[in-house]
Structure 1
Amino acid sequence: MAAVINLVRHMRCTFEAIREYTPGARWQALFQLRWPAYQQWFLRDGYRARPSYLAGRRALRQHMPELAQLYQQLCELAGGGDLEARFLSQWCPPSYISGCSQAVWLDPYGVEGPLLARNYDYAPSLLEGSWLSTRWLGRQVLAMSDCLWGALDGINEDGLAVSLSFGGRTAVGEGFGIPLVMRYLLETASNTAEAVAILQRLPVHMTYNISLLDKCSHWATVFVAPDRPTEVVSRSAVANHQHGLEWQAHARATLSEEREWMLGQGVRKAERADDVLRTLLRPPLFQTAYGRGYGTLYTAAYHPHTLMAELLWPDMRWPQYCLDVQEGVLNVRFDANHAG
């Protein structure tokens, strides 16, 4: 009888907590490491498909003037090239699509502080994994980096926590890539009301759901899109659609409806913050389709009242305090053979 050998192919993500309060050698090294892959992505539709440097700089100055000087600093650290500057402006970038589930929880007994928690579902090979502690504009920010100065989720010293999920539509328009929008919120807003006001005026290039929570327990879920007005909705748990399923194939593949329902139930029944986190760490919310590009790479928990943040996996937990981040490296392996 022939022997049957099962080969398990693993993918690995490296998560690194990095503290660099002003842009310098650490950020420059991250750029040099990640730029080849980002350059390939940025040019996938051709050099002329992306806006010019001047167009990107003009858009930043118009919509996010507080970031203009920081943008120039980062462009210089990136080598001062035209292509690098166009990429860093994040003005009308190529499309990107992920999974993700996120929720806001308030303690019904008033004992624990509020919680913003999320699962980030994506391809392991495409995650930066840099958990950056910065004071780029003077405000302390701890955020999971994307597009090298954008953010997937994070918290600032004022206790504003933010998170994003893909909104389930293929529409693309003139606007900023959502990671830079998230960075802008963390750098310039101190509470949920201020963040909502920013989202109501900023153009975005694709459809996303954004969860906001501040230390006073004020929260909002905001639907943004390139071709629709911004909406503030009273939905504490969201996955990858807005009012209904508009991209059926994506919703079916990622179990968007099932995940949102399960998370909503978990939030409503939770008596403690850890109850919500346990829900996120179980199927169908914890996804294993790593080989197909939307397995759960990490669960993030943000506690605005205490300024604590955590990254979690089924067998690990990594806490940080926003005002005193401890640098470190954590390697996480995923089984790429999972079909999901």
Structure 2
Amino acid sequence: MPLVLRYVLETCQTVDEAVGRLRTLPVAIPQNVTLVDPDRSVTVHVGPDIPMTEAPDSCAANHQHLPVPDEQERTTRTQARLAAVRAAGIDVPAMLRPPLYQRAYDHWLGTVYTAHYRPAEGCVTYQWPGEHWEHTIAEFTPGARTVALGLSDNNDH
């Protein structure tokens, strides 16, 4: 997927161009991708053997597009997280609490960060509980950030 996204970023100027391009590119594993330009944002679902599909909103919670088996939903809570994101809207504090913020890193179900993109302002803020890091296109400064992600107990998925 990184190569696909790099290609889209280098060859497309708008969300509409990117959506058109993604319809033609093969993708190895199911992914959701949120595309943003100053005039439009959309989340698309891509994957092997499925047509690219636009979500009804530009909302993503690292969720699966197609219905998942009950056991997978109990483990990952993919559809429950999507519903929680849609209910929260642009409420960053809600994104930093369960069920959206997950600490089940030992089960590969941990949240790395939450990003609040503001394309009209040309900025993004990366968020972790108790910490944030803002970047702007106009005054971008390269840097690095280390955030400790600990192992969780089995109840915090």
The residue aligned with 1:228 is 50
1:333 maps to 2:155: no
1:319 maps to 2:141: no
The Cα of 1:225 is off from its aligned counterpart by 1.7
Q: C-alpha distance in 1, partners of 2:45/2:97? A: 26
Partner-residue secondary structure (3-state), 2:49 = coil
Q: 1:329 to 1:219 in 2, by over 3 A?
A: closer
Partner-residue secondary structure (3-state), 2:10 = helix
Partner-residue secondary structure (3-state), 1:242 = coil
Q: TM-score, normalised by structure 2?
A: 0.87
- RMSD over aligned Cα atoms: 1.8
The Cα of 1:206 is off from its aligned counterpart by 1.4
Q: C-alpha distance in 2, partners of 1:331/1:221? A: 28
**Structure 1 residues 75-86: aligned runs within 5 Å:** none
The Cα of 1:248 is off from its aligned counterpart by 4.1
Q: C-alpha distance in 1, partners of 2:31/2:104? A: 21
Rg (Cα) greater in structure: 1
The Cα of 1:281 is off from its aligned counterpart by 0.8
The residue aligned with 2:41 is 219
Partner-residue secondary structure (3-state), 2:116 = strand
Partner-residue secondary structure (3-state), 2:111 = strand
Runs of 4+ in 1 over 4 A off after TM superposition: none
Cα deviations by residue, 1:265-284 (Å, 9 ceiling, x for unpaired): 111xxxxx4x2x12211110
Work out which of the residue numbers 179, 182, 188 in structure 1 matches 2:2. Answer: 179
Higher RCO, Cα 8 Å, sep 6+: 1
Q: C-alpha distance in 2, partners of 1:304/1:242? A: 25
The Cα of 1:262 is off from its aligned counterpart by 0.8
> 8 Å contact 1:259–1:285 — kept in the other structure?
yes
Q: 1:209 to 1:294 in 2, by over 3 A?
A: same
1:257 maps to 2:82: no
> 8 Å contact 1:281–1:313 — kept in the other structure?
yes
The residue aligned with 1:266 is 88
Q: TM-score, normalised by structure 1?
A: 0.43
Percent identical residues: 32
> 8 Å contact 1:222–1:233 — kept in the other structure?
yes
Work out which of the residue numbers 103, 107, 116 in structure 2 matches 1:288. Answer: 103
The Cα of 1:299 is off from its aligned counterpart by 1.1
Partner-residue secondary structure (3-state), 2:102 = coil
The structure with the largest helix share of the pair is 1
The residue aligned with 2:31 is 208
Structure 1 residue runs of 5 or longer lacking an equivalent are: 1-177, 268-272
The structure with the largest strand share of the pair is 1
**Structure 1 residues 1-340: aligned runs within 5 Å:** 178-216=1-39, 218-239=40-61, 240-245=63-68, 247-267=69-89, 273=90, 275=91, 277-339=92-154, 340=156
Cα deviations by residue, 1:282-301 (Å, 9 ceiling, x for unpaired): 11000010111221111112
